[in-house]
Chains A and B, each alone.
Chain A
Amino acid sequence: MAGASGGVLVTGGSGFLGSLVATTALRRSDGPIVLPIRRPEARDKVLARIAAEAAAEGEPLRDADRARLHIEPWPPPHGLGAMAARLARLGVRDILHCAGCLSYFNVAKLLDGNIELTRRMLELGARLDVRRFVFLSTAYCSGFTDALIPERLHEKPGEDPTDYTRTKRDAEWMVAESGLPWVIVRPSVVIGDSRDGRYGGKPYGIYQFWGALERYMVGAYPPVLHLVAARAPVNLLHQEAFVEGFWAAYRELPDGAVMHLASRDEGLPSMRDLTMLWFREYGGPRLVHLYERLDAVPMDTVAPPLRQWLEFTAVNSEIASVRWNFQRDRLEAMRERGLPFRDVSMETIAVVQNRFVRDSEKLREFVAQYRECGSPEPEIVVHDAA
C-alpha cells in the first residue's frame, strides 16, 4: 500500500473522526476524495469543517484541494450500483469507513448506523473491487476484561459496556468475513489536539464530564462535592495521534490486520488525576469526596444538579473505573520506525482542558468566581473500595 495512489471514499465526513480522516486524505494523497453524506444540505458545513482543520494544521485548502473533494448524498439501498459506477469513474480504489452511530443503547439506530451501513459499504467495496477497506472500530469492542486485549477479532468478548461496543464488534466480523482486503483500526477515547486543545467532536468521554459541568453545575458548587473518580488509567488519545495512527494503518498494515490506537500507559491519567487537575487549575468547593464507583455515593444527600451530573456521567465513569489493557504491538512497531505519535500526559490534558474552558463563557465565569471565592485547594476525602 505504501505510496499507493488513487481515489478514496471516506464515510463519516460530517462527523469528528471522519472529517479528520478526510482532511488527512486531502493533505496526504493526490486523488479524488469522495465524501458521502446523509444530509445534502450539510455540504457547506462539512466543507467548512475540513477547511478549518486543514487551516489549523497550517495547510489551508487550495482551490486544487477543493476540486478533489466530491461531497455526495448517500445512495439509497438500490442505488449502490450507480454509485459504484460513478466511484469507478473517479478512480476510487480504497474505502475508509469511518461513519457509525455512537448512541450507547439505541439498538435501532446502532443497527442502522453500524451494521446496515457497514453491510452496504462492504457491498460497494465488492462492486468496486477495492484495494483496501479500512474499518474504524473502537478499542472497547472487547467488552470488559481483565486480560490483555489482543489486536485480533474478539471470539469470546466480555460483557459489553454498551450496545455500541457490541455492534462495532459485530461489524468487525462482517468486515473480516467480507472477502475484501481489510484493516481494522480501534482507537481508544479521542480528545483534542495536544498542541492547541482544539476538538470538534461531540461531548463524549472526558468532554461529557466537562460538558455536564458546564450545563448543570455552573450555578455554584455545593459546599461539599461528591464525585466518582477512579484510580484506573483512562485511555485517552489525542486527535493528531489518531490521525497519524489511522493513516499509517491504512497505508502500511498488511491485509487482515487489527490495530489498537492508544497512548502508552505510563503517562495516562486516572479520573482521579483529572479531577485533581481541574481543582488545581480552577479551584473548587471546600470539601470534595472521591469515590471509586457511583453506587458508593450517598445520592440521597447530594443536590439535584450534582445528582444530575453524576447520573449523566455514570456510563463513562463506569468505563473509566476499569483498567483496559490494550495490546499496542502494531503501533509500537510503527513508532519504532519513526511514526510521530504524541502520548497523552497530564501536561497535554491541561492544554485540552484549558481550551475547553477558554471556549466556554459559562465556564470562564464559573472558574473566575471560584478563583475569587472558592478554596483553591479543596480538602479531599477519598473513599476507596474495600
Chain B
Amino acid sequence: MASAQSSDSGPGVVDPDERFFWALMRRFETLAVDRYAALAPALLLDEKVRFVERLAADGADPAALAASPLEKPSGELLARAQQSRDEAATLLVQGIVLECLGQAIYRLVAGRTEGVSEASRQRAAEGLAASAAVTAAAGARIAERLGTGEPLYARFADVTYDVVAALDPLADPVDCVFGRRFGLRFADVMGEFTADLVGVCTGLGMQRRKVVAHLTGAAMGV
C-alpha cells in the first residue's frame, strides 16, 4: 500500500471518502489507457499513463466501490465504453466524450476550496491536464482520420449515444455519495461536461445546435 506515501506528484490521498472517489476514477482511467493501447495509440500519452500509475499507487479499496450505489451505473457506463471496437469509435467515445467528462469532474474537484484535501486537488489538477492533453490529441487525430463537419457529426452521434445515455443513471448516486461530502453534484458535472464537449465538437466543424440536440436526446432518453 502506497496510499499515504509522498511521490513526485505530491502527497498521497489518505481520506477514505476521497480514496473511494479516486478508486472510481481509476476504473475509468485504467479502461481509457487500455483502450488507447489496444485501439488508439495516438492517445496513449505519457502524461496519461503516469497519471493512471499514480492512481494505482494510491491503492484504494475496490470493495467499497462494489458496495456503493455507484457500482451499477458506473459499471454500465464502462461496459458501454468498452463497446468501441475500432480506432474511430475509441477516438470519439473515449478520447472525446469520456475525457471531457473526466475534465469536468477534475476541474470541479481541483477548484474546490473546502472539503477536499490538497492531495486530491493536486491529483485532480494532474488528471485535468492529462485529460486535456488526450482530448487535444484526439481532436487532431479525428480531423486527420475521420474528417470534420457534417459527416463527422453523423458518426459522432451514432457511436456516442449509448455512452451519453448511460450518464443519467449516475445522477442520484453521484449526488448521494459525493454531493454532501465534496459538493460534487451531477448537475454541475453535466454543465461543465456539456460546455467542454460542445466546444470540442464545434472545433471539429460540427454544428453546435446539432451536438446539443444529440446530447439532450441521449441524456434525457428521447
Interface residues of chain A, those whose CB is within 8 Å of chain B, are 102-108, 162, 202-204, 208, 211-212, 215-219, 303-308, 311-315, 318
Contacts and interface: CB of A to CB of B under 8 A. Distances in A.
User: B-side binding surface: helix, strand, loop or mixed?
Assistant: helix
Given A107-B154, A308-B191, A215 B171 contact: yes
B212 interface: yes
User: A-side binding surface: helix, strand, loop or mixed?
Assistant: helix
A312 B215 contact: yes
Given A203-B222, A215-B171, A105 B190 contact: no
Is the interface on chain B under 10, 10 to 19, 20 to 34, or 35 or more residues? 20 to 34
Contacts of A313: 216
B222 A208 contact: yes
Interface stretch (B36-44, B56-64, B192-200): B192-200
A103 B194 contact: no
Question: Max chain B CB contacts within 10 Å: which of A103, A202, A306, A311?
Answer: A311
A311 B190 CA distance: 11
Given A212-B220, A215-B187, A304-B187, A106 B214 contact: yes
A312 B157 contact: no
Nearest to A302: B191
Contacts of A212: 216, 220
B47 interface: no
B212 A315 contact: yes
A315 B188 contact: no
B141 interface: no
B16 interface: no
Interface of B: 153-154, 157-158, 161, 168, 171, 175, 179, 185, 187-188, 190-192, 194-195, 198, 209-210, 212-217, 219-222
B191 A216 contact: yes
Contacts of A208: 216, 220, 222
Contacts of B216: 208, 212, 311-313, 315
A105 B157 contact: yes
Nearest to B153: A105
A314 B209 contact: yes
Given A107-B154, A217-B187, A308 B213 contact: no
Nearest to A105: B210
A212 B190 CA distance: 11
Contacts of B217: 103-104, 106
Nearest to B192: A304
B171 A308 contact: no
Contacts of B158: 106, 108
A311 B222 contact: no
A314 B215 CA distance: 12
5 contacts: A106-B161, A202-B220, A219-B188, A305-B187, A318-B209
Nearest to A216: B187
B172 to A, nearest CB: 9
B187 A315 contact: no
A324 B58 CA distance: 59
Contact of B220 (A215, A218, A303, A306): A215
Nearest to A305: B187
Contacts of A217: 187
B220 A108 contact: no
B191 A304 contact: yes
A296 to B, nearest CB: 16
A308 B212 contact: no
A204 B187 contact: no
Contacts of B214: 104-106
B168 to A, nearest CB: 7
A307 B195 contact: yes
Counting from the closest, the 6 A-B pairs by CB-CB distance are A304-B191, A305-B187, A308-B191, A216-B187, A104-B213, A105-B210
A200 to B, nearest CB: 13
A311 B198 contact: yes
Given A104-B210, A105-B157, A313-B216, 13 more contacts: A106-B157, A202-B220, A202-B221, A208-B220, A215-B171, A218-B187, A219-B187, A219-B188, A304-B190, A312-B215, A312-B220, A314-B209, A315-B212
A305 B168 contact: no
B147 to A, nearest CB: 16
Contacts of B168: 215
